[in-house]
Structure 1
Amino acid sequence: MRIIYFTDTFYPTTNGIVTSIISFSRELADRGHEVCIIVPDNPGVWDFEYHGIEILPMKGFPAFFYPDFKITFIFTPSLIQKIRKFKPDIIHYHTQFILGWQAIVLGKILKIPRIGTFHTYIADEWYLKVIGLENFHIFGELGWKYNNFFYEHCEHVISPSVNAREELIDHGIPAEKISLLPNPLPIEKKTALIHMDIATNTSNIIFSIGRLSKEKSFDVCIETIYLVSKKIPDVCFVIVGDGPERENLEELSRKLGIENNVRFLGKIPHEELMNSDIFARSKCFLTASTTETQGITIIEAMSFGLPIVWVDEKWVGEMIEDNGYKAKAGSAEELAGYCITLLEDAELWKKFSEKSFQIVKKYDVRKLTDNLEAIYVTTMKHGPRRK
């Protein structure tokens, strides 16, 4: 098959959408399929290379409301020509923004079946806060109308979690049009891990990954570590990721007097991170985010046997099966209590760790790509035909 992906976020950005796209693309290319990925022309995008995968960057400009997000220009005749030359069998888009609309329009023009993956609910309360519209509740309703209108223009919808699928159905997307397909992870035995220097000798390491932006609630995580440090003074919170809130989070650490307990490692290339020993040295993975459809960083943490401490977030909760603790959203006190329990109870930690290793097997990219191929074949069979 020849498959075209459209996405507004891609390498070298590190997030769950990028990891999912790259994991599926590589596995599809390894199976002999041809993959073309249309992305914003961000610095570093040309550094991505893999056999059987072609990258087509689109020019654009940074969004005023989200500096790392680029708004691409409308498609050009040259892009249409390149797509015609590629002769795609299917279009698969991972965005509800400009490139997603280009995927829809080009699919209609060229008579190519389209699939859309529902990664993000764009009118979530946190995202509305980012652009200053959190007090305008009508935007929540309009967000779902926009979302539905968007996915009505594709032949099939992929949801990465059960709860996300139920949300789509509750808001009017037909159940028969939606397939459940979790985000994948290459499941390989971890050997010869590279040591990462984090300037600490403690064994009480709590780990987290993510974009340092308001919707990820890292401020709650830092408040959690402050409370943990009162009971376990040598606790070390290691954060991988960068973003607009980094300076505020560093200031919060200093204000709470725990700057020596927090390590901001910044952006680390995904493969380098996954081949490092930082996961294996950590005692648990901590997240306070309430904006995930399926947290792939949690899957990555479980692949190293980490217990998970998270907040009451329905789309993440279905991933956890007796291998972690759930706290009330925004409650640093509850999160801290659970972290302390895992750091102090070795037997419980071992039980949760073994369970994480078991759970993560169902996210193996090889098994999930089998399902993705089947979705593509079915969609092609029932989708529009080229004239």
Structure 2
Amino acid sequence: MLVEIYADQFNVVGGGGQHRALMVARGLHMLGHKVMLITPHFKVFYEELIRSPQKYYVDIKSRSVGFKRFRYLIDNSLLILAYAHTPNAAIVVMPCPIFRANVLLIKRGSPLILDFGDIWFSEKDISFYRYFSMAYLSYFFKFARRVIMPTSRMTEYARRLFPHVKSRILHIPSSIDTDAIKPSRKSSSPVITYVGTLNPGRGLEILPKIVEKSVKKIEDVLFKIVGSGPLLEWLKRETERRGLSKYVSYLGDISFYDLPSIVGDAWLGLSLYPRATLYPVDVLKALTYMSMGMPLITSTYIEEALGVSLQVPFDPRAFAEAIYNLVVNDSIREQMSYMAREICVKRYDVKLIAKKYEQIITSL
């Protein structure tokens, strides 16, 4: 079976929809199917991307500069699609700047699946209507054979918005490669980790205060911060200004599959997000923590992490208190750690989720 997956980029180290899509590709590849990844920049089979990830790395900054660059993406995406194979199914990661290219998919007659892997909105959030008008989505929903949502709450919401196609809207959760992302030996002293892009809007403005308040309660704690972005230098300066440099290690970007060897010794993972959403990108982060046997502390509701996470208000004092409670309660923390790993293996492993996609594609 040949499956094509379309997105604006497929960086091996990344979050959101591309990360979810890469896990789907990995799972289908493990099941013996051919998976072609198509972007405005390249088209490549999954196995080749994994062999040479740097060759297909897309600089996020360069791809988002100016209207001419956007026009380039559209034109090249149309060109790539025009010469693409005829797959058993075409999965389009939503949102994606190659929306117009979907028309070619429809005209080719290939079964079209829309996968909302990287959109976050609440029922009161006008950004959903601002960026994805009802008319525009209705058009593509009408032609899509299936529309996949990553959480049950998003699925219910979409079915209410589009009742005329609600039978086509399905829920398939995100996945994680539990064979590769596995637990490591835990540090003898408490280590807390944060993994993600260091961008504004991700709640990182409270991280220095969390560290400061945690250090007052736990003298030997160490925070490992993985990722890069516009806030990295600010975080370093703020950490130094508060006299916390010895308690924080900024590790920069790390290959996804190297995470267990570098931060796998952490006791807890942090998921900072300043607003309630139906689907925060931190779901994928949560699965990464859980697969490495880490409970997490989060400011948002993450249904995949129920029972192995502490949800607290978006407040540094609340995070520091939750960190302290789990650090000093070994039995509770270790039980949550075991459960986190078990949940990933039994519910969210890439092969299990890929079989759900396989069943859908076969039925089309």
Question: Equivalent residue for 1:363?
Answer: 348
Question: Equivalent residue for 1:99?
Answer: 98
Evaluate the alpha carbon distance shift between residue 71 and residue 160 of structure 1 in structure 2; reply closer, same or farther with a 3 A threshold: farther
Question: Equivalent residue for 1:309?
Answer: 297
Amino acid at match of 1:184: S
1:22 aligns with 2:22: yes
Tell me by how many angstroms 1:372 deviates.
0.7
Question: Equivalent residue for 1:7?
Answer: 7
Evaluate the alpha carbon distance shift between residue 319 and residue 377 of structure 1 in structure 2; reply closer, same or farther with a 3 A threshold: same
Distance 1:11 1:371 in 2: 24
Evaluate the alpha carbon distance shift between residue 303 and residue 70 of structure 1 in structure 2; reply closer, same or farther with a 3 A threshold: farther
1:296 aligns with 2:287: no
Evaluate the alpha carbon distance shift between residue 357 and residue 107 of structure 1 in structure 2; reply closer, same or farther with a 3 A threshold: same
Amino acid at match of 1:18: Q
Tell me by how many angstroms 1:219 deviates.
2.1
Evaluate the alpha carbon distance shift between residue 343 and residue 333 of structure 1 in structure 2; reply closer, same or farther with a 3 A threshold: same
Tell me by how many angstroms 1:240 deviates.
0.9
**Bigger share in helix:** 2
Amino acid at match of 1:89: N
Instruction: Give the secondary structure class of the aligned counterpart of 1:286.
Output: strand
Question: Equivalent residue for 2:216?
Answer: 230
Residues matched between the structures, number: 347
Evaluate the alpha carbon distance shift between residue 356 and residue 46 of structure 1 in structure 2; reply closer, same or farther with a 3 A threshold: closer
Question: Equivalent residue for 1:33?
Answer: 33
Instruction: Give the secondary structure class of the aligned counterpart of 1:215.
Output: coil
Evaluate the alpha carbon distance shift between residue 79 and residue 121 of structure 1 in structure 2; reply closer, same or farther with a 3 A threshold: closer
Tell me by how many angstroms 1:124 deviates.
7.2
Matches within 5 A, 1:169-188: 169-172=159-162, 174-188=165-179
TM-score, normalization by structure 2: 0.83
Distance 1:82 1:70 in 2: 19
Matches within 5 A, 1:78-117: 78-83=79-84, 86-102=85-101, 104-117=102-115
Evaluate the alpha carbon distance shift between residue 122 and residue 63 of structure 1 in structure 2; reply closer, same or farther with a 3 A threshold: farther
- Percent of residue pairs identical: 19
Tell me by how many angstroms 1:18 deviates.
3.1
Distance 1:184 1:269 in 2: 17
Unaligned 5+ segments in structure 2 are: none
Question: Equivalent residue for 1:214?
Answer: 200
Could you tell me whether the CA contact under 8 Å between 2:31 and 2:351 is conserved in 1? no
Post-superposition Cα deviations, 1:134-179, rounded to whole Å, max 9, x if no partner, equal xxx8655333525734544422111111122123223335431211
Instruction: Give the secondary structure class of the aligned counterpart of 1:35.
Output: strand
Question: Equivalent residue for 2:241?
Answer: 255
Tell me by how many angstroms 1:192 deviates.
10
Instruction: Give the secondary structure class of the aligned counterpart of 2:304.
Output: coil
Unaligned 5+ segments in structure 1 are: 126-136, 196-200, 381-387
Instruction: Give the secondary structure class of the aligned counterpart of 2:98.
Output: helix
Equivalent in 288, 301, 310 of residue 325 of structure 1? 310
Amino acid at match of 1:37: L
Tell me by how many angstroms 1:213 deviates.
0.6
Instruction: Give the secondary structure class of the aligned counterpart of 1:94.
Output: strand
Give the RMSD, CA atoms, in angstroms. 3.5
Post-superposition Cα deviations, 1:160-216, rounded to whole Å, max 9, x if no partner, equal 111221232233354312111111112228789699xxxxx8711101111111122
1:351 aligns with 2:340: no
Post-superposition Cα deviations, 1:52-100, rounded to whole Å, max 9, x if no partner, equal xxx99999952149xxx997132467524421xx221211011323223
